[in-house]
């Protein structure tokens, strides 16, 4: 158990803040979260003085770590020139430079970037680009969207509508969630691949299911299929079986349906290539791709939609205007931060480091925590790893939601000065508890070793606690 003083420290109250004294609307309506006062490199420091290893970079955000002086200098320089200009009417050199940096060489036919301030805005913007594209090219009958189970695309109304995060949708169903969306299975081999089924067969079956879904709603009524190449917040880093995205691309081409890939969490190098979809085989490309999190690396709230030139040409054929804008789109300081992050990534070869360190990380996880009795599945790519916990490895039976396994582990890790990301688990209406690990690409070798060690120590504490709880 936690001593009262330790509890105080974990809660960050420590005599500084109590619920009545805070006028911030925190997500928890009954407690105040711990107070963060500074962050540097791979560490975050709390008001209590506690320094915590950032094993998940918040929500897979701080890809180059915290407090990078080059980013700070770039932001300061931009602020001294111009912080804000209305970017519907004007552009800035820094927004142009950021788009050039990301789209140089016209990667995979992607030719334009629309910059926003979050992943959710990026998804809403992508949905609107897709819909307006069909209006402009004379196919206004396309009104439907197809998404997947265990998908998370954001919390704004459009993005939430194509998400399947049960608990985040629940209060808003029938009121603030669009009903023109249907769902197909996630690429979730651990629970979805059948006994004796090969990876190729599993992949073909999922593509077949998507084909049947398109046909059942009428493929000529579908705007887009939306998917995360590596599923994040709701799925714990699930990857697709080989050939899946090639099959998806072929179906989209056959029916003229747009493919929207959401790389808000898995993009910006996180999986070991700059775009996660680049590992899905030749011929795979998105018509629209969303970015967020790592784009600004946490230094500024940034998101983006990258559009294929085909979409841009289609829009231009019917209109001279994209009917969507935000006051803070392509914000100059946000663009400066993101540009500096991209430059550090490129110069320091951090995407390659992410891939290399990712291989070490995968092996280290499998050799340690992967051997423990409540660990059902370890999956991911690059420096993006999910660990799913089950009561019984043989039957894959999840823990009862009341046990709150995920949260127990997050708390035990935090007590050991390690921060990990709680994925949506049984308490959110999904089978299987899980956590996500997503350290900075430039964490030191020692920090990676610490991460694995502290995670194992936290797991051991939870295993002991859970053994007792299950006996009771
Ligand atoms: N898409 C994905 C894949 C995400 O993981 C998230 C955030 N977890 C979002 C969209 C929404 O991004 P934001 O929270 O910045 O709005």
Q: What is the CATH number of domain 69-347?
A: 3.40.640.10
Under 8 Å between Cβ of 268 and 299 = no
Q: Is the distance from the beta carbon of residue 265 to the nearest atom of ligand 1 less than 6 Å?
A: yes
Helix, strand, or coil (residue 56): coil
Determine the distance separating the centroid of ligand 1 and the alpha carbon of 120, expressed in angstroms. 6
Helix, strand, or coil (residue 381): strand
| Helical ranges in 286-380 per DSSP H | 309-318, 332-347, 350-367
Q: Is the distance from the beta carbon of residue 406 to the nearest atom of ligand 1 less than 6 Å?
A: no
* Cα–Cα distance measured from residue 327 to residue 399, given in angstroms and rounded to the nearest whole number: 45
Under 8 Å between Cβ of 354 and 241 = no
ipTM: 0.99
Region label for 377, one of left (φ > 0), alpha (ψ between -120 and 50) or beta (otherwise): beta
Q: What are the residues whose beta carbons fall under 8 Å from the beta carbon of 460, sequence distance 6 or more?
A: none
Give the pLDDT score at 14.
47
Ligand 1 site-directed mutation target among 27, 118, 119, most atoms within 8 Å of CB: 119
* Cα–Cα distance measured from residue 223 to residue 451, given in angstroms and rounded to the nearest whole number: 43
Atom of ligand 1 nearest to the CA of 231: 3
Determine the distance separating the centroid of ligand 1 and the alpha carbon of 281, expressed in angstroms. 25
Determine the distance separating the centroid of ligand 1 and the alpha carbon of 4, expressed in angstroms. 35
Give the pLDDT score at 16.
52
The alpha carbon torsion through 276, 283, 106, 102 (nearest 10 deg) reads 0
Q: Which residue has the tokens 């775009």?
A: 275
Helix, strand, or coil (residue 430): coil
| Helical ranges in 140-237 per DSSP H | 157-161, 166-169, 189-192, 199-217
Determine the distance separating the centroid of ligand 1 and the alpha carbon of 315, expressed in angstroms. 26
Which pTM value belongs to this model?
0.95
List, by residue range, all CATH 3.40.640.10 domains of the chain. 69-347
Under 8 Å between Cβ of 332 and 80 = no
* Cα–Cα distance measured from residue 214 to residue 82, given in angstroms and rounded to the nearest whole number: 48
Phi/psi for 88 (5° steps) reads -80, -40
Stated as kind and residue range, the H or E segment containing 463 is helix 445-471
Give the pLDDT score at 87.
93
Give the pLDDT score at 12.
43
Residues of the chain with pLDDT under 70: 1-17, 427
Dihedral sign of CA atoms 306, 309, 311, 314 in order: positive
Atom of ligand 1 nearest to the CA of 151: 3
Atom of ligand 1 nearest to the CA of 159: 10
Architecture, CATH, for domain 35-64+350-471: Alpha-Beta Complex (3.90)
Q: Is the distance from the beta carbon of residue 228 to the nearest atom of ligand 1 less than 6 Å?
A: yes
Under 8 Å between Cβ of 460 and 369 = no
Helix 332-347, helix 350-367: angle, nearest 10: 70
Stated as kind and residue range, the H or E segment containing 11 is helix 4-11
Determine the distance separating the centroid of ligand 1 and the alpha carbon of 263, expressed in angstroms. 9
Count other C-beta atoms under 10 Å from residue 353's C-beta. 18
Q: Could you give the angle at the alpha carbon of 136 between the alpha carbons of 132 and 140, nearest 5°?
A: 75
CA distances from 206 to 28, 88, 185, 186, 211 (A): 38, 41, 7, 8, 9
Give the pLDDT score at 425.
75
Ligand 1 site-directed mutation target among 117, 127, 152, most atoms within 8 Å of CB: 152
Atom of ligand 1 nearest to the CA of 263: 3
List, by residue range, all CATH 3.90.1150.10 domains of the chain. 35-64+350-471
Give the pLDDT score at 401.
87
Give the pLDDT score at 8.
47
Determine the distance separating the centroid of ligand 1 and the alpha carbon of 123, expressed in angstroms. 9
Q: Is the distance from the beta carbon of residue 244 to the nearest atom of ligand 1 less than 6 Å?
A: no
Determine the distance separating the centroid of ligand 1 and the alpha carbon of 291, expressed in angstroms. 9
Which long-range contacts does 421-427 make (Cβ < 8 Å, 24+ apart)? Answer: 421/55, 421/56, 421/59, 421/60, 423/233, 423/234, 423/235, 423/236, 423/386, 424/152, 424/165, 424/166, 424/167, 424/233, 424/234, 425/389, 425/398, 425/401, 426/398, 426/399, 426/400, 426/401, 427/167, 427/401
Candidates 133, 137, 147, 155; CA nearest to 324 is: 133
């Amino acid at each position: 158990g936690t001593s009262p003083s330790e509890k105080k420290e974990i809660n960050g109250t420590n005599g500084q803040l109590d619920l009545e004294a805070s006028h911030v609307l925190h997500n928890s309506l009954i407690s105040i979260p711990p107070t963060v006062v500074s962050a540097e490199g791979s560490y975050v420091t709390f008001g209590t003085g506690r320094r915590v290893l950032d094993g998940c970079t918040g929500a897979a955000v701080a890809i180059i770590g915290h407090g990078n002086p080059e980013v700070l200098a770039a932001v300061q320089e931009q602020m001294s020139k111009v912080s804000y200009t209305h970017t519907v009417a004007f552009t800035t050199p820094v927004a142009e430079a950021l788009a050039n940096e990301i789209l140089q060489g016209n990667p995979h036919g992607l030719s334009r970037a629309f910059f926003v301030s979050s992943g959710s805005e990026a998804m809403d913007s992508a949905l609107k680009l897709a819909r307006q594209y069909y209006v402009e090219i004379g196919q206004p009958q396309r009104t439907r969207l197809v998404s997947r189970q265990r998908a998370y695309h954001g919390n704004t109304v459009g993005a939430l509508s194509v998400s399947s995060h049960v608990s985040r949708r629940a209060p808003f169903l029938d009121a603030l969630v669009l009903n023109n969306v249907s769902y197909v299975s996630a690429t979730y081999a651990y629970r979805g691949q059948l006994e004796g089924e090969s990876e190729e067969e599993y992949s073909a079956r999922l593509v077949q299911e998507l084909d049947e879904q398109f046909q059942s709603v009428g493929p000529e009524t579908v705007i887009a299929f939306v998917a995360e190449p590596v599923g994040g917040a709701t799925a714990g880093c699930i990857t697709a079986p080989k050939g899946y995205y090639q099959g998806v691309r072929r179906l989209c081409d056959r029916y003229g349906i747009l493919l929207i890939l959401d790389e808000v969490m898995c993009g910006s190098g996180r999986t070991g290539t700059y775009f996660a979809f680049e590992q899905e085989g030749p011929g795979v490309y998105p018509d629209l791709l969303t970015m967020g999190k790592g784009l600004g690396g946490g230094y500024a709230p940034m998101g983006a939609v990258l559009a294929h030139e085909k979409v841009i040409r289609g829009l231009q054929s019917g209109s001279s205007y994209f009917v969507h804008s935000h006051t803070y789109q392509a914000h100059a300081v946000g663009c400066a931060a993101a540009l500096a992050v991209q430059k550090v990534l490129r110069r320091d070869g951090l995407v390659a480091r992410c891939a290399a360190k990712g291989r070490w990380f995968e092996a280290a996880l499998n050799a340690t925590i992967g051997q423990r009795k409540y660990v059902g599945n370890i999956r991911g790519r690059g420096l993006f790893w999910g660990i799913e916990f089950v009561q019984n490895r043989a039957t894959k039976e999840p823990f009862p939601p009341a046990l709150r396994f995920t949260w127990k582990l997050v708390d035990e890790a935090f007590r050991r000065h390690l921060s990990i990301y709680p994925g949506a688990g049984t308490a959110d209406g999904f089978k299987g508890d899980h956590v996500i690990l997503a350290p900075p690409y430039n964490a030191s070798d020692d920090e990676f070793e610490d991460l694995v060690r502290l995670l194992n120590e936290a797991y051991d504490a939870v295993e002991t606690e859970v053994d007792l709880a299950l006996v009771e």
